[in-house]
């Protein structure tokens, strides 16, 4: 398993944050806010795998790109970035030594918090 930073997803997340499509929720809210398996399946059916991939900062190039197993570190609900999702993903990336992904998530969190201060 070689999980890499998904650059298109990072660009997508930054654009959403710049457009104000952010939920500034608390750390523990992600367990309730994260899409369910059924919501993921509906999204994939409606929008396709490429759009699904844009909501995950990790991608495993060794996996079939049309499986959920290829994508990790989700950060939103398919409409908005969730601060809680970014925090959760940053923590998991750090725990599993995915430093590039952790750093990208940290930069997203800083962008979310900076925009909240403006």
Per-10-residue mean pLDDT, the chain, length 118: 92 97 91 95 98 98 96 97 96 95 97 78
Please tell me the predicted confidence (pLDDT) of residue 116: 65
Confidence at residue 26, expressed as pLDDT on a 0 to 100 scale: 85
Please give the model's pTM, rounded to 2 decimal places.
0.93
Contacts 24+ apart (CB under 8 A), 83-86: 83/22, 83/23, 83/24, 83/25, 83/26, 83/109, 83/112, 83/113, 84/23, 84/25, 84/26, 84/27, 84/28, 84/29, 84/30, 84/33, 85/30, 85/33, 85/34, 86/13, 86/112
């Amino acid at each position: 398993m070689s999980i890499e930073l998904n650059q298109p997803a990072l660009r997508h997340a930054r654009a959403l944050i710049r457009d104000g499509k952010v939920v500034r929720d608390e750390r523990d809210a992600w367990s309730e806010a994260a899409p369910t398996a059924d919501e993921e399946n509906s999204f994939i059916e409606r929008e396709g795998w490429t759009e699904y991939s844009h909501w995950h900062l990790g991608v495993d190039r060794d996996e079939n790109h049309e499986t959920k197993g290829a994508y990790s570190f989700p950060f939103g609900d398919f409409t908005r970035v969730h601060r809680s999702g970014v925090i959760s993903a940053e923590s998991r990336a750090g725990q599993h030594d995915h430093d590039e992904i952790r750093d990208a998530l940290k930069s997203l969190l800083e962008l979310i918090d900076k925009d909240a201060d403006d």
